[in-house]
């Protein structure tokens, strides 16, 4: 599995995010180094996450328990 380009974000918990459009997978790297993937996410939802006023709150509200996810690192 190759990790897409990660984009740094302003967040107290999240370091960076990335999107694999071929597989519709969002990658989220937390400040503690842990990496999660969220599967079957539309690109529009990733863009909303990227531009949210609070990336962490948006992730929690719109991704957790909505899209399948797993810790990969």
Q: Do 69 and 24 touch, CB atoms closer than 8 A?
A: no
Distance in Å from the first CA to the final CA of the chain: 12
Report the half-sphere exposure of 4 (CA within 13 A, side-chain side).
17
Per-residue pLDDT tens digits for 1-32? 689 999 999 999 999 999 999 999 999 999 99
Kindly report, residue by residue over 49-58, the tens digit of the pLDDT: 999 999 999 9
pTM, entire model: 0.95
**Burial class for 3, CB neighbours closer than 10 Å (0-12, 13-18, 19+):** middle
pLDDT (mean) for 37-61: 97
């Amino acid at each position: 599995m190759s990790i897409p380009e990660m984009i740094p974000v302003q967040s107290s918990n999240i370091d960076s995010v990335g999107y694999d459009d071929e597989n519709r997978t969002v990658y989220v790297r937390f400040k503690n180094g842990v990496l999660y993937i969220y599967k079957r996410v539309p690109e529009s939802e990733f863009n909303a996450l990227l531009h949210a006023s609070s990336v962490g709150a948006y992730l929690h509200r719109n991704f957790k328990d909505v899209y399948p996810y797993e810790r990969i690192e």
